[in-house]
Each structure stands twice: as C-alpha cells, then as structure tokens.
Chains A and B, each alone.
Chain A
Amino acid sequence: MSLIEFLQMNYEVILQSLVRHLELVIISVSAGIVISIPLGIFLSRHRKLAGPVLSAAGTIQTIPGLVMLGLALIFFGIGMKPALVALSLYALLPILRNTYTGIIEVDKGIIEAAKGIGMTSNQTLLKVEMPLALASIIGGIRISTVYIVSWATLAGLIGAGGLGDLIWTGLSTYNTNYILAGAVPSAILAFLFSGLIEILQRILTPRGLKGVRV
C-alpha cells in the first residue's frame, strides 16, 4: 500500500490521534504552568528552599520516560490519566527553574529602588519582577512543550492514545506507513509549538527590554 493510499484510508484515525496528542500536550503543560509559576515565585521569596525543591524536580526529570509511565500505570491504571500525571511531572522542571532564576536574576539595583520608593513586596513582584522575568518564564514553557510533544508519543504504550499509538502499531507490525503517520506529525508539532511560543515571547516582551539583556 502506498503512503498516499494509506493516508486516504486512515486519515480519520490519524486525525483522532493528533487531537488526542494535542490534548495530552496542552493539558500537561498547562498543569506544569499552574504548578510551577506559583512555586517558582514562592521559592524566590524563600530562597533557602530553592535548592532542595529544584533538585527534587531535577530528579523527576532524570527518571526514564518508560519507568515513569510504568509507575503511573501502577498507581492510576490504564488510559489518559496516568499519562497526564507522568507528562505533567516532566513539564514542571523547565518552567519552575526558569521562573525562579528569571525572578532572582532581576538587577538588585532595580529591586532596591522598588523597595526604597515604597512598593510593597507584591507590587514589586507584579510591576517589576514578573514583567522582567517573563521572557525567561516563557522560555521555560517552550522547553517543556517541546519535550512533552516528544514524550507524549510514549503515552500510547499505556493506552492514552495520541500519535504514539500509530508509531507503536507501526513498530510492532513492521508497517512504515504507520510509523511515518505518527512520527512526522509529532515532529511538525514540536516545530510549530516552538515557533508559536517564540512569537508569543516576542510579543509579550516589554518594548524597553527588546535587544537589552537585563
């Protein structure tokens, strides 16, 4: 069967897998954002905790994907749920690390000025630290997203669906068409997300910071 014929016959399945893949990526990255940004801010206020917490997140990152999915399978059974838990854990570290370093690397003089002219700690965070750390935070989100697009292909193994499903089917039946139908879209997806987030980063960077490293 030629690739064209294969695509004509299976486009609905491929489309479903793609949508499922997108769901996996968007939900787990969103979870990563919701947990990591507040946690990063908290750590920037309690810097003694930053070391232990960041190395814990770093340890999670070193657990091989299959092991993590296996563990998730044991605790949460088969389907999307264990996959989302595992992927969300992987999404944490880049966003957390970039939020934390983005905030603590804001120039000390700027922070002292903010405090000295009478900004509260929250005002300093919202008006000064977050805008200045934004580029770094979005950079973290971008790294997480690109990772998760590729790791989400493993989720097919525990019945979560997604483009990984096609790849695993192809591998187990020596069917190149299936492999291509899963691998090519996920590669394109990674490029697309990376590019889109980069554009977003440019739009959201305050004009005063463009071309200037703070």
Chain B
Amino acid sequence: MIKFENVTKSYGHNVILKDLSFTINPGEFAVLIGPSGCGKTTTLKTINRLIEPDQGKIFINNEDISKVNPVELRRTIGYVIQQIGLFPNMTVEENIAIVPKLLKYPREKWKEVVRELLEMVGMPYDENAHKYPSELSGGQQQRIGVLRALAASPPIVLMDEPFGALDPITRDTLQDEVKRIQKKLKKTIVFVTHDMDEALKMADTIVFMDSGNILQMASPEEMLRNPAHPLIASFMGKHMANVGADLTAGDFMKTRVVKVLSTAHTLQSIELMRNREVDTLVVIDDDETYLGTVTIEKIRTHGKTGEEIGNLISDEVPVANSRDDARDTFDQLMTSPTGYVIVLDDDSRVVGLITKTSMAKAMGGALWGEM
C-alpha cells in the first residue's frame, strides 16, 4: 500500500504538489494523468525518492519512506522510464540482471530470473539474452526495460510514460503485455501518462491531476460516467458515455445506391447488376419513390425475358428514415435478414444504404475521429 499524507513540493514560488493525500492499494494499477505540468511525474518520483517532498509523508506498507535509505528503497521498487534507459554497454541479460546482482543474488538465481522473464514476454533466452540494446527494436528495448524493473520481484513498479515514444501498434501490444503481467504477478503499478486511451485501458484507478491537485480519483467506469471537473470531461471527450446519442441513420449510410426503375426489363437489370457488380437493385418508380428490392436470384428463378421487374420486387429489406436514431437503425441492421437497411427521406425517396461495413466505418469515425 502506498499512502500520501499532505505531500507538498515547490520549486521556488512554483508549487508543484499541493497538499496531496491519497492511497493506492496493493495489486492496484493506478494511473496518474493530467495536462503537462500537473505534477504527475513529480508525484511518481517522490515514491522512490528521486524527488523529496518539502512537507508531508509518504508511506509504503505503513513505513515512512523518508526513514529508508534511498538506494535500498529504489532496489525494492521497479522503475521504467520513457527514454527506456537501457545500459548500452551491457547485454540484455546484464541489463535485466542488474538489480538482482546489486542485491547479491547468486549467479544461478539471477540467470534463472532472466530466463523466466524473457520467456514471459516471448523473447527466447537463447536468441536474445546476449544481444545488446542497440540490436533490438524500440518495442523490444522497452520490453527489456520493463523486465529490468521486474527482475528483483519488487511489489511496486513505477512507470513514467513508458510507452510514450513507441509507435501505436507496439504501444498497444506492450500495454496488453504489461496489463497481463501485472495481473499475473499481482504488482502494484503506478503509471504516469497523458494519454486518456492508455489510462482507460490500463487503470484500475485513475488519478486525475491538475496544478498539483487531485481533481478526481476513480475507476475508469466511474470517471467516464461522472467526470468531476470539466477538464476531465474534455480529456475524455470522445470516450464519454453519451457517444453517438445525436447520431442518425443518415450519418451512417453510404449514398452510392444502384437504383432501377420498376419499368425496366429483366435482361436490362441483369446487365446493370453485372456492370455495377452488385446482386441486388433498389427499385423505384418514376417519382423516385421506393418500391422494394430485386435480387439476381429472384430474376433467375422467377423472371421471364422481357418482363418488367416491378413484378419481381420484394419488401423484406428493412427501411429507415434518414433522421432515425442511429441506435434503432443499428438494431434493425443486426436483425435484417439481408444484412442491410435502406434509408429513405421524408418523401420515401431512397437516399442511402446502411451495411455492416458502413456502420463499422461510421462508428470507428465517431470513436477515433474521421477515418
């Protein structure tokens, strides 16, 4: 358990931490987040005494850490930083084993630790242990950075924007791995980030800071539902629970629909399908009013040469109004036997089509920005 009691820190007139008090429970994944300069990194660094508070106390398992030798303290707390900071003059094995060696583990013991940890992140010992950091990719380097922090089995691991410099795909993989490792090894992790996606994905508890204060400390769920401050709401922006409330069917549809007049003949329709590479046509009358759909099967099985396709239409495809709520349309889509929904305007004219693909694209766009 990590407990802050009225911790204050200033540099000159600049107050970095204002009377912070909070508790992180054992086995908890706590994420410190907030705008830059909010004090999140300073808070993290007071835990391993890289920064000493001016006032207040910090306890780890009820022990006042200001009474513990800082070097000894740091050897019992894992530390991962954004710049990775692997020692380039040492091999992967030597890097991971550094703290166990400082703690005078016997050789067989630290060798075993290195082997186990490397296996755990899918980097086989024989292939990787004797490489140098410069021979690894950025993602692999930070994996080793994480393993170095874990090597002496510290109950607490501090991570200071560990994935900030990695590309999105690697970051995603490492987030999953760290979360998995944390659950498996039951570590208490204090994690600093400025990325709300990362916080929501990783955290059991999010500590939202601004100007040295905690604005809210809550689970991701709770913070999404009841952000305690407008700044938090703006940080979460796109994740807010009411996402999509004002979206309509019109936002989700694609507008390129292959239409055909009901007076067209069968062969003409088949030719049109072939040209546009579709198996279904939307049939309209000369006012552009929607009448129904016709499929290639229907024409093959029931159609006679030269017959007007108006006789072959079916009305099994669900229709929606373009101003309908997107959620209702979504339900229609999911239950539609044909896998799509026709969208009409107020005058029953066909304006678009919603398929599972167009729905997925539009939802992706709403969640993650335009795609």
A residues in contact (CB < 8 Å) with B: 107-120, 123, 127-128, 131-132, 206-209, 211-212, 214
Interface SS of B by simple majority: mixed
Q: Which of A108, A127, A208 is the one whose CB lies under 8 Å from B132?
A: A208
Q: Are A123 and B102 in contact (CB under 8 A)?
A: yes
What's the least CB distance linking B182 to chain A, in Å? 19
Is B149 interfacial (CB 8 A cutoff)? yes
Q: Which of A115, A117, A206 is the one whose CB lies under 8 Å from B98?
A: A117
Q: Are A118 and B75 in contact (CB under 8 A)?
A: yes
What's the least CB distance linking B101 to chain A, in Å? 9
Report the bound CA distance from A116 to B86 in whole Å.
12
Q: Are B86 and A113 in contact (CB under 8 A)?
A: yes
Is B110 interfacial (CB 8 A cutoff)? no
Report the bound CA distance from A111 to B79 in whole Å.
13
Is B196 interfacial (CB 8 A cutoff)? no
Q: Which of A107, A117, A206, A208 is the one whose CB lies under 8 Å from B83?
A: A107
Complex interface: chain A residues within 8 A of B75 (CB):
117-118
What's the least CB distance linking A118 to chain B, in Å? 4
Q: Are A208 and B133 in contact (CB under 8 A)?
A: yes
B residues in contact (CB < 8 Å) with A: 48, 50, 71-75, 78-79, 81-91, 98-99, 102, 132-135, 145, 148-149, 158
If the complex has contacts A109-B83, A112-B81, are A118 and B88 also in contact, measured as CB distance less than 8 A? Answer: no
Report the bound CA distance from A116 to B84 in whole Å.
12
Complex interface: chain B residues within 8 A of A207 (CB):
132
Report the bound CA distance from A160 to B129 in whole Å.
55
If the complex has contacts A208-B134, A212-B134, are A118 and B85 also in contact, measured as CB distance less than 8 A? Answer: no
Excluding A117-B79, A118-B75, A206-B90, 19 further A-B contacts by CB distance (< 8 Å) are A107-B85, A109-B84, A111-B85, A113-B83, A113-B84, A113-B87, A115-B74, A116-B48, A116-B74, A116-B158, A117-B98, A117-B148, A118-B71, A120-B71, A127-B98, A128-B89, A132-B88, A206-B89, A207-B132
Q: Are B79 and A113 in contact (CB under 8 A)?
A: yes
Report the bound CA distance from A132 to B91 in whole Å.
14
The residue of chain A having its C-beta at the shortest distance from the C-beta of B134 within the complex is A212
Report the bound CA distance from A111 to B99 in whole Å.
15
Complex interface: chain A residues within 8 A of B86 (CB):
110, 113
Report the bound CA distance from A65 to B159 in whole Å.
56
Report the bound CA distance from A208 to B145 in whole Å.
16
Q: Are A112 and B87 in contact (CB under 8 A)?
A: no
Q: Are A208 and B85 in contact (CB under 8 A)?
A: no
Report the bound CA distance from A125 to B276 in whole Å.
72
Q: Are B102 and A114 in contact (CB under 8 A)?
A: no
If the complex has contacts A132-B89, A208-B91, are A117 and B99 also in contact, measured as CB distance less than 8 A? Answer: yes
The residue of chain A having its C-beta at the shortest distance from the C-beta of B98 within the complex is A117
Report the bound CA distance from A114 to B146 in whole Å.
14
What's the least CB distance linking B68 to chain A, in Å? 11
The residue of chain B having its C-beta at the shortest distance from the C-beta of A211 within the complex is B134
Report the bound CA distance from A149 to B79 in whole Å.
49
Q: Are B50 and A115 in contact (CB under 8 A)?
A: yes
Complex interface: chain B residues within 8 A of A119 (CB):
71, 98, 102
Report the bound CA distance from A209 to B135 in whole Å.
10
Greatest chain B CB density within 10 A among A120, A123, A207 is at A207
If the complex has contacts A116-B48, A119-B102, A208-B132, are A128 and B87 also in contact, measured as CB distance less than 8 A? Answer: yes
Report the bound CA distance from A111 to B84 in whole Å.
11
Closest 7 interchain pairs by CB? A109-B83, A113-B85, A208-B132, A118-B75, A118-B74, A116-B79, A206-B89
The residue of chain B having its C-beta at the shortest distance from the C-beta of A131 within the complex is B89
**Cβ contacts A to B, 25 pairs, < 8 Å:** A107-B85, A109-B83, A109-B84, A110-B86, A110-B87, A110-B88, A112-B85, A113-B145, A114-B85, A115-B50, A116-B50, A116-B79, A116-B85, A117-B74, A117-B79, A118-B71, A118-B102, A119-B71, A206-B88, A207-B132, A208-B89, A208-B90, A208-B91, A208-B132, A212-B134
